[in-house]
Amino acid sequence: MKCVKCGYISFDYLSVCKKCGVSLNQARSGLGFLESKPEPPEYLKALLNEGGAAGSDAQGTKPAVDDDTTLQLEQALAEEHGVV
């Protein structure tokens, strides 16, 4: 939505210009804009409902390398580069 007074471009659902404060209601109604702020789509809602709360670990997953293997690799690299 472009302000009719100052030309500031903002969201279509706003009824007042954020820059100059002029009412945008007449222009909005003339263009047929909605009076409420649209809700963003919830693309992940189905996945979140299936898998539990957001941020929880997925079932059946484990780290690609366990801690013992990581420690062994770090020690081998340290010895190889003379860091020990």
Quick one: pLDDT at residue 17? Answer: 93
Q: Is residue 5 part of a domain?
A: yes
Q: Is residue 13 part of a domain?
A: yes
Q: Is residue 10 part of a domain?
A: yes
pTM of the model: 0.42
Q: Is residue 65 part of a domain?
A: no
Consecutive 10-residue averages of pLDDT for the chain (84 residues): 92 90 89 78 75 54 77 88 78
Q: Is residue 2 part of a domain?
A: yes
Q: Is residue 84 part of a domain?
A: no
Residue 55 has what DSSP assignment?
T
DSSP labels, 2-34? B-TTT--B--TT-SB-TTT--B-HHHHHHHT--
Quick one: pLDDT at residue 58? Answer: 54
Cα angle at 77 between 62 and 84, to 5 degrees? 120
Q: Is residue 63 part of a domain?
A: no
Beta-bridge partners for 9: 2
Q: Is residue 67 part of a domain?
A: no
Residue-range definition of the domain harbouring residue 13: 1-37
